[in-house]
Chain A
C-alpha cells in the first residue's frame, strides 16, 4: 500500500488545526491504517447491481414550514465562547498576512 500514514496524519491535523505530539501522531497513524484496511476489505465485496446509497435508511426528507421560532437568550449563545467582546465572540485573526503583497 502506497500510503504514508504519518504524512496523512500531518495533513489532516493541519487542516483540523490540531497539534499532535509524536506519540499521538504514531497512535493516529496506526488507527488510520486500521480504518483504511477495514474499508479496503469492505470494498472487496461484490456490489455490482446494487445502487450506491449514502444513508442507511430510505425515508422522505423531513420539512418544516417557514416560521420563526424563539432563539436562545444571548447569555446561552455566548456561554461557551472562550472570549467575548460586548455581544460578539472574540477570536484570533485567522487570515494570514498578505504573502506577496508588494511582489506584484
Chain B
C-alpha cells in the first residue's frame, strides 16, 4: 500500500565559541581526554554557571538566519536523566520557553524552491562523549567517558513534520548546514559530531490528518546515512503496516555497517525528564537593540548569494548552485572576479580544473591567491600559453603558490604560434615522415593526428593544436 511519509528532524549544532557555555574551559576538539573540565562543567557542588555572551549571540544569529522569532524572554530548565555522559545528571536546556519560536528554511530542491517550517530553536549544553568498549554499542561491556565536550554550547533546531522522504531530509540538512556555515555560527562537521541529526518518522494513509506512530532514529553520522536510514525506516514501517501489524513507538539506532535500524530502548516519555526551571540561571532577557545589532551584522546567506551570482555575474544556475554550496570557492570566485571580467570562464575553471586540483592536493580555496588565478586566465586569453600549459601551471600554482607569469618566464613556456614559427616545424615533420604523408594523401585522413602529435612534440606542447592542424592540412594539399 502507499503511505504518506512524515518526517520531523531534530538537529544539534555545536556553536563556534572558544570557551564553554557556562565556564571558561576550552572547546578545542582534539585535546587529551578530560583535560577541558572544571567544577562548573563537571557539576561539582558549589559551582555556579555564568553565560557565555558569545554563545547567546551565535544562537540569536542562527535563529535570525532561520527566520525564527527570537523571544524577548526565555528560560533555562534542567532536563533530568541518568546517563554517564551527563556529569550533573541533568542537562541545562530550554523547555517551554525556548530562545526562538517558529521559522523556516528555504532551499533549492528538485521541484523548485522548497520551504520547511521550524517549530523552535533553543540553546542547551552539550553532553560528554562515551566510547563503548567492544565492536558496537550493543556488545559493549563497559564504556569510557570523556567530559571535554560536556558544556559546549549546543543549538537545537526542531523542524515541523513537513519532510516527506529520506532524500528531502538530506537536502534540508545540507542546506541547513550551508546556512549555518554562512551565518558563521558552527563549523557543522558531521564527522566530528559538531552537527548531528535525529529524526522522527511515521507513515499514514495519504490524506489522513492523524499522524501514525513514530519511531525516532538516531546515530546517523553523515548526510548519506540520514537518507539511507530514513528510506530503510519507511520500508520497515510500511512492511509492518501492510501486514496489519503496528509500529511501536521506540528509539532506533542506524547501524551503518549492516544498513538497518536497530531498536535501542523504549522511548522515555517527555515527562520522565522532569524538567524544572534551572534555579542557578536567571531567565534570559534580550532587548531589541541586542537583537537588532546582530541582525544588522548578519552575513550574506546562501539564498542571497545564489541570487547575486545569477544576477551580478550572469552565471548559469548549475554553476551558481555549485559555487554557493562551497562558500570557500564562491569567495575565491568573487575575489578573482574583481580583477578578471570573464565571469563564466572563471566559474568554469574554478568548478572544473581548480576544484579537481584542490581535492587532489588536499588544499582549501582560501589558500589560492586570486591575483595568480586571474594572471593565469589572462595569459591564456592573450594567447601567451595554451590550455594544456595553463592546466599544468594551475597545478603548480595550487601546490606551491607560484606565480603563473613567473613560471612562464622562467621556463620559457610561452606559446609558439604564427606561421613564421610553425611552418618550418610542420615542414620538418612532413619531411621526416614520408610514409604517413603518403597514406594521408591516399585517403587515410586519420593519420593527420599522428603528424599533429609530432609537431606538438617539437614545440614542447606549447602550440595551439588547432593552428597546427590548419597549417598541416594546408601543407599536405601540395
Is A78 part of the binding interface, using a Cβ–Cβ cutoff of 8 Å? yes
Is B17 part of the binding interface, using a Cβ–Cβ cutoff of 8 Å? yes
Is A47 part of the binding interface, using a Cβ–Cβ cutoff of 8 Å? no
Which residue of chain A has its CB nearest to the CB of B273?
Answer: A15
Chain B 1-37, CB-CB to A under 8 Å as 1, else 0, gives 0000000000000000111000111100000111111
Stretch at the interface among A24-32, A36-44, A69-77: A69-77
Is B327 part of the binding interface, using a Cβ–Cβ cutoff of 8 Å? no
A residues within 8 A CB of B132? 93
Chain B interface: which size bin? Answer: 35 or more
* Min CB gap B392→A, angstroms: 46
Is B75 part of the binding interface, using a Cβ–Cβ cutoff of 8 Å? yes
A63 touches B51 (CB 8 A): yes
Is A16 part of the binding interface, using a Cβ–Cβ cutoff of 8 Å? yes
Q: A66-B19, A77-B37, A89-B34 are in contact. Are A71 and B282 (CB under 8 A)?
A: no
* Min CB gap B95→A, angstroms: 11
A65 touches B143 (CB 8 A): no
Is B38 part of the binding interface, using a Cβ–Cβ cutoff of 8 Å? yes
A62 touches B17 (CB 8 A): no
A104 touches B26 (CB 8 A): no
Is A45 part of the binding interface, using a Cβ–Cβ cutoff of 8 Å? no
Q: A68-B18, A99-B263 are in contact. Are A61 and B82 (CB under 8 A)?
A: no
Is B277 part of the binding interface, using a Cβ–Cβ cutoff of 8 Å? yes
* Min CB gap B387→A, angstroms: 49
Stretch at the interface among B62-70, B133-141, B154-162: B133-141
B131 touches A88 (CB 8 A): yes
B263 touches A74 (CB 8 A): no
Stretch at the interface among B101-109, B144-152, B449-457: B144-152
A69 touches B24 (CB 8 A): yes
Is B437 part of the binding interface, using a Cβ–Cβ cutoff of 8 Å? no
Chain A 92-104, CB-CB to B under 8 Å as 1, else 0, gives 1111111111001
* Min CB gap B248→A, angstroms: 8
Which residue of chain A has its CB nearest to the CB of B84?
Answer: A91
A91 touches B143 (CB 8 A): yes
B residues within 8 A CB of A74? 32, 34-35
A60 touches B285 (CB 8 A): yes
Is B236 part of the binding interface, using a Cβ–Cβ cutoff of 8 Å? yes
A64 touches B53 (CB 8 A): yes
Q: Which of B33-61 contact A (CB under 8 A)?
A: 33-39, 42, 50-56
Q: A71-B26, A93-B141 are in contact. Are A64 and B52 (CB under 8 A)?
A: yes
Choose one: B36, B138, B144, B284; the contact of A97 (CB below 8 Å).
B138
Which residues of A pack against B, CB within 8 Å?
15-17, 54-55, 57-72, 74, 77-78, 85-101, 104
Question: With A98-B263, A104-B263 given, can you name 10 additional A-B contacts, CB distance below 8 Å?
Answer: A54-B283, A55-B277, A55-B282, A55-B283, A59-B282, A71-B25, A89-B34, A90-B142, A96-B264, A97-B138
